[in-house]
Structure 1
């Protein structure tokens, strides 16, 4: 295959560490006039344009952006494909919201054509908002996952998804059985896991909708395929936490249910964790598990405020999720806007560099993909964004007042949305152009 090389010149910014562990100054690299060199879908060099330009072969195409910032592609570690059509549904908290809106919407995914239509809309929305990797819930129907992976594969995207396992406490039209969920998941794993840049996640919806038999088989799948992911929900809502105690009286708490069925581990991501206690955070950290912080959804459904400092104290991997459709935006920039407010309500300042980390390298580390995505380090897949400082009149005016990259970054996360994303690249290919 002939070598394809291309270079992109703009301001460049990426995370290289967690500010909570290495300090803010050591957590990022910024090149005011930077150059990103891509060869065959991977990053081959990053640095100051003045240093790198003289070393490029004379025939290298250099794309030069004015008033723009290049960052790694964003990573959304909790989102629901089948809830695209009910985003922004009025008036309920978690359990009533599931029954009133979510389950009827998800039932439509029994139709493969419907699943394909929504997968196309969903992936376009992700890319339009600068999300190049997502950890995605399908519906209970295997065809929902087939439709999503087929669409992602065409664009060579790094995506992770799974079929929901749900054999009780849901409408009859939307349940599987312990055995069919195992067989369907296994077939999807054989078909998709490790194909191109695709990965499979074992996906019990949450403890209340799975019998002990189904949770046992979910754990069995993780044992049979050691590099699979696991995604589910935990401690999102106080009523939900009480319900789990009623359903599993023999377990010491919500996390202990998942722990008992061998669902904790280095590729396990638990969404929300709003009502976790210290001991549960410590156990999640000990097992290498991660929690997806979903501020937009937690505010929209009235679930509560995630305690990021407690998670940091235990060195627990935390990443960021939009949680569409509980969340009301595909934009991780808007999600970070909400995250800042969630922390403000708890008297904590969320640094823009911590926010950048959560949306990029933090997500990559939680998914054990930091050697592939989440930074602009040489050797990484060329998943990156070009953010436009002049995307809106207000943003353009406001950024002219900015004196530091910290201020610029914070304004992008506060005023920014899909309009800021000028271009999205995946594996070196342009997959979205505003």
Structure 2
């Protein structure tokens, strides 16, 4: 059995408020699973990596049997291993519309920008082009798992499945079920039966195309106003039938106040937006509810009792003027919460952008009268981006952390250190993206994050959270496979 040993700094969330930072660690990975973790003292150096594998392992006190099958990776200075980021809500089909929302709010935006773009992806070449760019960009930003919405078209949705399998990202792929007259006639399901059959076909396609289970189908009623009662009921039955296989459901809830009012008009027999989903058996521990900004206390209690997860999408919420989620309240009530980029309501596929926006929005909520406790810390934001997302997507204990038995879905994060004696010319080269090492070798600088050497690891993490971008993601592994390297 081949093994890879990663030597250096690793960081991950232990709890919502606690990060574990190990500066001198050794993690053994084989077949994509973490087999052992050792927290060491400063009893090794980078020069040790030149030793034969058997000698190196012997120095560290490890069994050196089958040493010829070993690979040793030394993590460079100012770099660290971190769990892959998890995006619990993203529309791959909307990727070309990043940043395009004009002066519209949610319902206007759907008709003006979103539905026309999604409908155009019945063209297989166009769909593949859009999906590949979206997924590649997501991977480059360190997202190892994502829950995707595709389009109403089963054919287009299956192309997204193929792209995920090809590029190696872990993901959930959902065909948007939508048969109500909220959508134009040229972009909706023909009937409740068609909505169910096409959804079932897409879930089956994922099973057949990727028997490893890395890419899975997910039931996706777009949102309550998009679906007839019969379609919601049909999808509820599909969800129940898929319980043994761990089949998930994703949808939107209470994103916009006008949307909430529309639901009241369309479903007068129900007491709330959440109740609409509940009466159709769509609220389960395997349900992901995006946004959830304007929930009532009764709805929060219902969602908690059904053990649903919430995808917090602060970037999109701000961009579309939908409102500010009081995420601390959901956490205090025991609701599972992760982060979503909600492309293209959100303007960036980077989960890190959603994490920092979650911090900033929480400060506005605190100043708006909810109190200091409402503020989300760096530690909490990073937990939401990893462990929280894993719990929401039913992957808790499998991904989102660095523990023995967990899958090696991991990113290598790094930044450059500003030279001590840089003159004006050297400083200009750094700002232009190049600097010289002491041996004269030119290397690329890692984005906007500058380390000066005196920062603690807690301070380095804060710098990465608030200033980091895809240039700081140096490598990405999913299931032990290197799927992105820079």
TM exceeds 0.5? yes
The answer as to 2:293 corresponding to 1:241 is no
What are the within-5 Å matches in structure 2 for residues 405-416 of structure 1?
Answer: 405-416=457-468
1:353–1:406 CA contact under 8 A, matched in 2: no
Instruction: Give how far 1:42 is off.
Output: 1.3
The answer as to 2:104 corresponding to 1:92 is yes
- In structure 1, what is the Cα distance between the partners aligned to 2:471 and 2:399? 23
- In structure 1, what is the Cα distance between the partners aligned to 2:354 and 2:177? 27
Any unmatched runs of 5+ in structure 1?
none
CA offsets, 1:306-345, max 9 Å, x none? Answer: 1112102210000100000000111111111111110010
Aligned to 2:453: 400
1:423 to 454, 475, 478: 475
1:278–1:310 CA contact under 8 A, matched in 2: no
Instruction: Give how far 1:394 is off.
Output: 4.7
The higher radius of gyration belongs to 2
Any unmatched runs of 5+ in structure 2?
44-56, 367-373, 417-444
Moved more, 32-41 or 154-163: 154-163
1:157–1:427 CA contact under 8 A, matched in 2: no
Secondary structure of residue in 1 paired with 2:365:
coil
Instruction: Give how far 1:14 is off.
Output: 1.0
CA offsets, 1:280-317, max 9 Å, x none? Answer: 11111111101100010000001111111210221000
Aligned to 2:6: 8
Instruction: Give how far 1:10 is off.
Output: 2.6
2:300 to 281, 297, 316: 281
1:271–1:292 CA contact under 8 A, matched in 2: yes
Aligned to 2:335: 316
1:72–1:385 CA contact under 8 A, matched in 2: yes
1:353 to 365, 369, 379: 379
- In structure 2, what is the Cα distance between the partners aligned to 1:11 and 1:36? 10
Moved more, 419-428 or 38-47: 38-47
CA offsets, 1:81-116, max 9 Å, x none? Answer: 110111111221111111110011101121222222
- In structure 1, what is the Cα distance between the partners aligned to 2:7 and 2:269? 59
Moved more, 32-41 or 268-277: 32-41
The answer as to 2:196 corresponding to 1:142 is no
The answer as to 2:247 corresponding to 1:232 is no
1:382–1:427 CA contact under 8 A, matched in 2: yes
Secondary structure of residue in 2 paired with 1:306:
coil
2:447–2:469 CA contact under 8 A, matched in 1: no
Instruction: Give how far 1:276 is off.
Output: 0.9
Cα 1:326–1:393 change in 2 (3 A) is closer
CA offsets, 1:342-393, max 9 Å, x none? Answer: 0010123211111111011111111221232111111111110000122546
1:9–1:49 CA contact under 8 A, matched in 2: no
- In structure 1, what is the Cα distance between the partners aligned to 2:354 and 2:273? 26
The answer as to 2:189 corresponding to 1:198 is no
Aligned to 1:43: 34
Instruction: Give how far 1:395 is off.
Output: 1.5
Aligned to 1:74: 85
1:383–1:425 CA contact under 8 A, matched in 2: yes
Aligned to 2:371: none
Q: Tell me how large the CA RMSD over aligned residues is.
A: 1.6
Aligned to 1:54: 61
1:115–1:143 CA contact under 8 A, matched in 2: no
The answer as to 2:172 corresponding to 1:172 is no
Instruction: Give how far 1:432 is off.
Output: 0.8
Secondary structure of residue in 2 paired with 1:360:
helix
- In structure 2, what is the Cα distance between the partners aligned to 1:400 and 1:326? 38
1:298 to 304, 317, 323: 317
- In structure 1, what is the Cα distance between the partners aligned to 2:446 and 2:476? 18
Cα 1:208–1:74 change in 2 (3 A) is same
Cα 1:251–1:393 change in 2 (3 A) is closer
Secondary structure of residue in 1 paired with 2:75:
strand
